[in-house]
Amino acid sequence: MVQIRLTNTRTRRKEDFTPIDPRNLRLYLCGPTVYDRAHLGNARPVLVFDVLVRLLRHAYGAGHVTYVRNFTDVDDKINARAAETGRPIRDITRETIGWYHDDMDALGAERPDHEPRATDFIGQMIAMIEVLIGRGHAYAAEGHVLFDVRSYADYGRLSGRSVDDMIAGARVEVAPFKRDPMDFVLWKPSDGDQPGWDSPWGRGRPGWHIECSAMSEALLGPSFDIHGGGIDLQFPHHENEVAQSCCAHPGAGFAKVWLHNEMLQVEGKKMSKSLGNFFTVRDLLDRPAGQGGGVPGEVIRLVMLSTHYRKPMDWTEAKRAEAEAVLRRWRGLVAGIEPAPSPAPAVLDALCDDLNTAGAIAALHDLAGKGDAAGLLAGARMLGLLLPGMGGWAEAGADADADAAGLIGTLLAARAAARSARDFARADAIRDGFAAAGVAIKDTAGGAEWSLQPGFDAARLRALAEALSGSQPA
């Protein structure tokens, strides 16, 4: 297999990927804040990492890769949702985690090896904050603990900005207890009805950034291979994670490679909960018939992987229709076939080249075009496509098509019989019934040809067949 190359945000270059320990590869992806259903944009990093992990397991062995993705289950947005709804925080986070699992499972994303919840790691966060204070990188003030950005010379390296530029460009909260406007919160006080834990600085709760530093260290150690998330997290979240982790462990490297996906957009803007311009993965999966019907998870996955992860993309109905047609065709080709022992080199080469999923999909089209069903299946599975158990939708569609074809054949035979019996009323009733159900009939020298029209209605076709079988020809 060829060398894996990845674009590392830290160095801003596409680099050869060399694991710290090839027998123990470690990855961390920033997961969701759990107060609402995941929108389609939130699925993008999950799908990118799912393909990355499949590739790394293929290259280094399934047992040599550890993938961690957290749940942020303590956050002021969750508190706000609880206040709005009058529901206990724990009910909201538990329910949202359940939804998240259902929705990401439906996209064929494998569950990570560890899914730590922030509230299970409060002790580790407090310990890390104490280390940072001890080393002179953080200070307590008015029940808060703040990270002192001026104490870390490399602050801003990941996102490529200087602290002074940041202050000039950012709208930061200038609290009176901050030494510098860019200092960020590690710990903050909680009042009586807010979730809180006892700490050396009084009852309080952690800031968001310290959660990922503490959980990645607890599960992967102070140095690990790949850290990911959307590009919207590069600053401040990931910059702050680097500052915390590198200052707590000056000898360790923290994340060697930073991998950031570009945004799923709506009319040129990031799809986001705060902007309100989002639809959820569940909205698509369960879309009512009147709006085009539910979109199978596998179809969503193919659309999302058709654009390289470092490019912005949008969701369109045209992409959905194209992906659905492609998967139907591929599923037809691979029915009853065993996958080839190894994915085709063209598929692997594309994925090794900075996860070029679009290139890998082009290679799958080539395999399908050559009729190499076993190669197509092995290659598609590297992308989490054509997985067993995910094709029910295509089979259901194929069954429905087969049913329709059977009914149409029966009705055409009935029409021919009516014509030869000169029962023109009956023949015309069948013709009108076809038109009403959305079936176009063309009489040719070789017999009747039919095609399904947009708006084809299988129920009307069945009703027509039942009405005819109840009435005998004249």
Ligand X SMILES: Nc1ncnc2c1ncn2[C@@H]1O[C@H](COP(=O)(O)OP(=O)(O)OP(=O)(O)O)[C@@H](O)[C@H]1O
Q: How far is the CB of 145 from ligand X (least distance, A)?
A: 23
- Spatial distance between the Cα atoms of 179 and 150, rounded to a whole number of angstroms: 9
DSSP lists the bridge partners of residue 224 as 255
The answer to whether 64 is a known ligand-binding residue is: no
Report 157-186 residues binding ligand X (CB under 6 A): none
212/352 with CB nearer Zn ion: 212
Shortest Å distance, C-beta 45 to ligand X: 4
H-helix or E-strand containing 265?
strand 264-266
CB of 166 to ligand X, least distance (A): 19
Contact 119, 135 (CB under 8 A): no
Minimum Å gap between C-beta 39 and ligand X is 6
- Subset of 271-300 contacting ligand X (CB under 6 A): 271-274
Binding-site partner at residue 32 among ligand X, Zn ion, none, CB < 5 to 8 Å by type: ligand X
CB of 38 to Zn ion, least distance (A): 16
Concatenate the DSSP letters of all residues of 350-397 into one string.
Answer: HHHBT--HHHHHHHHHHHHHTT-HHHHHHHHHHTT-S-TTS-HHHHHH
- Indicate whether 270 belongs to the interface with ligand X (CB under 6 A): yes
In the list 74, 220, 233, 361, the residue contacting ligand X (rule: CB under 6 A) is: 233
Beta strand 184-189 with 204-206 is antiparallel
Q: Which is nearer to ligand X, 276 or 389 (CB)?
A: 276
For the record, the structure tokens of 150 come out as 């001026």
Contact residues toward Zn ion (CB under 5 A) are: 30, 212
9 binds, among Zn ion, ligand X, none (CB under 5 to 8 A by kind): none
247 assigned binding-site residue = no
Q: How far is 17 from 7, CA to CA, in rounded Å?
A: 9
- Per-residue burial over 127-160, b = 16 or more CB atoms within 10 Å of its CB, e = otherwise: ebbbebbeeebbbbeeebbbbbbebbeebbebee
Using CB distances below 5 to 8 A depending on partner kind, what does residue 212 bind out of Zn ion, ligand X, none?
Zn ion
User: What's the closest the beta carbon of residue 43 comes to Zn ion, in angstroms?
Assistant: 17
**Is residue 30 annotated as involved in ligand binding?**
yes
- What one-letter code names the amino acid at 29? L
What single-letter DSSP state applies at residue 235?
I
Shorter beta-carbon distance to ligand X: residue 121 or 208: 208
Q: Which of residues 203-232 bind ligand X (CB under 6 A)?
A: 229-230, 232
Q: Is 212 annotated as a binding residue?
A: yes
Residues 6+ apart with CB under 8 A from 393: 296, 298, 299
Neighbours of 411 (CB within 10 A): 23
25: partner contacted, choices ligand X, Zn ion, none (Cβ within 5-8 A by kind):
none
Phi, psi of 144 (to 5 degrees): -100, 160
Contacts of 16 (CB under 8 A, 6+ apart): 3, 4, 5
Site string for ligand X, 24-63 (x = CB under 6 A): ------x-xx-----x-xx-xx------------------
Task: List binding-site positions for Zn(2+).
Answer: 30, 212, 237, 241
Binding site for ligand X (CB under 6 A): 30, 32-33, 39, 41-42, 44-45, 229-230, 232-233, 261, 263-264, 270-274
Task: List binding-site positions for ATP.
Answer: 273
